[in-house]
Amino acid sequence: MEIITKVFSSHSSDRGNLTAIEGENEIAFPIKRVYYLYGLSHDLRRGFHAHKRLEQYLICIYGSCSVLLDDGKERASVKLDRPNVGLYVGPGIWHEMFEFSKDAVLLVLASDRYSEEDYIRDYCSFLDYVQGA
Ligand code: TYD
């Protein structure tokens, strides 16, 4: 499985750092939705789903967390602990987020608005979906 991470450039100076991300520029898709997770627990996992069409970049803009990616054949885990690094999660990838630091803020840039229709929330259905694809 190909793991796609992207380092977004930062404007850094003695005044601090600024990272800008433009849809259809730094990332390929137009950004139609932004959401973020915070107030998370180290012991609880989130996600447990795949998308049929949605593309996303996950950026841990504060603290750290890990992301499990599963394409139905292989699994890989990626630790996110830098505010200027994005992890691409495309369609047909089962993902789980875990080991959140207490202060973690996970920002997600998504290619479309929220649609429950686009979710596969059952792991067996996910395997059927990717194996039939
Ligand atoms: P959920 O998909 O269960 O979160 P996670 O997979 O990270 O554990 O989403 C939690 C709730 O938030 C659920 O009721 C759906 C809702 N939600 C929205 O309304 N809009 C969104 O953009 C997202 C991602 C979730």
Ligand 1 pocket test, pick from 51, 54, 97, 114 with the greatest ligand atom count within 8 Å of Cβ, gives 114
35, 93, 120: residue to mutate for ligand 1 pocket, most atoms within 8 A of CB: 35
Structure confidence at residue 22 (pLDDT): 96
**What confidence category does residue 133 fall into, taking pLDDT thresholds of 50, 70 and 90?**
low
pLDDT at residue 40, as a whole number: 97
| Mean pLDDT of the 85-103 span | 98
Q: Is 49 a catalytic residue?
A: yes
Q: Whose CA is nearest to atom 16 of ligand 1?
A: 114
Smallest CA-to-CA distance from 55 within 130, 4, 123, 106 is with 4
The model's pTM is 0.96
Atom of ligand 1 nearest to the CA of 37: 7
Q: What pLDDT shows up at residue 55? A: 98
Give per-residue pLDDT as tens, 43-58. Answer: 999 999 999 999 999 9
